[in-house]
């Protein structure tokens, strides 16, 4: 069976959409702070037109469920839910931190990854991921929200971590000499991308981790304000 995954992410200022057909991925992305609603639907239309398929051909919708900017998360969830209801397509939510971790493996071949996003209010969203034999990142615990100085992975002290995401400058500003966290490299300019969400979504789809449209809901980690 040919797997077709339509993925989207509006969790940060980078808006992106991707279409995975078997192992081939095409993607659109645009820096669009607070303007994701202007770009996401045209991006989806472009991807479908380029590939010559229709929404009814899509196997599953994958979306960046969070954590991230509250408004952006709601946009992705609403668009996903609307398409899923209209076309009776299942959905699979994907952690934006997992998407960052998958990007770190894809670009740098890192196998132990700490994605970190700026959560505002001097806090960060972060998690710890490792790469499975299937070359898919897996969470080593729950995605978390905390102050950078509270990140103290004592049980993970012997591991060399690859840091990725725009939360790392906040961590470095207050905890640059933490002896318990060993970092091999940091990419603080990376954003979650729909292409990695599509790849993870395809894996989840094959595992049967798919849900009805009403399950397309954001994961905030912090109560919306």
Q: How confident is the model at residue 223 (pLDDT cuts 50, 70, 90)?
A: confident
Task: Please give, one letter per residue, the 3-state secondary structure of 139-187.
Answer: ECCCCEEECHHHCCCHHHCCCEEEEECCCHHHHHHHHCCCCCCEEEEEE
Q: How confident is the model at residue 93 (pLDDT cuts 50, 70, 90)?
A: very high
What average pLDDT does the segment 35-58 reach?
98
Q: Which pLDDT value is given to residue 153? A: 63
Q: Which pLDDT value is given to residue 51? A: 98
Which CATH architecture best describes the domain 97-187?
2-Layer Sandwich (3.30)
Lowest mean pLDDT among 182-186, 205-209, 214-218: 182-186
Q: Which pLDDT value is given to residue 174? A: 82
Q: What percent of the chain has pLDDT over 90?
A: 86
CA distance 125 to 93: 17
Q: How confident is the model at residue 179 (pLDDT cuts 50, 70, 90)?
A: low
Lowest mean pLDDT among 52-66, 96-110, 134-148, 153-167: 153-167
Q: Is the predicted pLDDT of residue 19 greater than 80, yes or no?
A: yes
Every domain range in the chain assigned CATH 3.30.420.40: 4-95+192-215, 97-187
CA distance 137 to 129: 6
Q: How confident is the model at residue 176 (pLDDT cuts 50, 70, 90)?
A: low
Q: Is the predicted pLDDT of residue 156 greater than 70, yes or no?
A: no
Superfamily of domain 4-95+192-215: ATPase, nucleotide binding domain (3.30.420.40)
What average pLDDT does the segment 105-109 reach?
98
Q: Which pLDDT value is given to residue 1? A: 78
Average pLDDT along the chain: 94
Is residue 12 a contact partner of residue 69, using CB atoms and an 8 Å limit? yes
Question: Does residue 174 or residue 145 have the better pLDDT?
Answer: 145
Tens-place pLDDT, residues 59-89: 999 999 999 999 999 999 999 999 999 999 9
What average pLDDT does the segment 91-108 reach?
99
Q: Which pLDDT value is given to residue 37? A: 94
Enter the tokens of residue 205: 């789809």
What average pLDDT does the segment 166-180 reach?
82
How does DSSP assign 96-153, residue by residue? HHHHHHHHHHHHH--SEEEEEEE-STT-EEE--EEE-TTS-EEESS--EEE-GGG---
Bridge-based pairing state of the strands 129-131 and 137-139: antiparallel
Please tell me the pTM assigned to this model.
0.96
For residue 61, give the H/E element and its range. strand 60-66
């Amino acid at each position: 069976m040919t797997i077709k995954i339509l993925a989207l992410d509006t969790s940060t200022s980078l808006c992106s959409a991707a279409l995975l057909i078997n192992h081939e991925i095409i993607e659109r992305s645009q820096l669009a702070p607070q303007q994701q609603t202007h770009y996401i639907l045209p991006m989806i239309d472009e991807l479908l037109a380029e590939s010559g398929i229709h929404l009814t051909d899509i196997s599953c919708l994958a979306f960046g469920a969070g954590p991230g900017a509250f408004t952006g998360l709601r946009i992705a969830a609403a668009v996903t839910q609307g398409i899923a209801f209209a076309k009776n397509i299942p959905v699979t939510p994907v952690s934006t931190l997992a998407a960052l971790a998958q990007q770190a493996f894809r670009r740098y071949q890192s196998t132990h990854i700490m994605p970190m996003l700026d959560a505002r209010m001097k806090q960060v969203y972060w998690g710890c991921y490792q790469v499975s034999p299937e070359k898919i990142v897996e969470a080593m615990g729950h995605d978390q929200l905390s102050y950078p100085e509270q990140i103290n992975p004592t049980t993970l002290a012997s591991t060399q971590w690859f840091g990725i995401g725009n939360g790392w400058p906040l961590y470095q500003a207050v905890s640059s000499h933490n002896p318990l966290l060993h970092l091999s490299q940091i990419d603080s300019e990376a954003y979650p991308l729909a292409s990695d969400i599509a790849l993870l979504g395809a894996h989840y789809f094959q595992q049967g981790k798919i849900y009805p449209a009403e399950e397309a809901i954001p994961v905030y980690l912090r109560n919306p304000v």
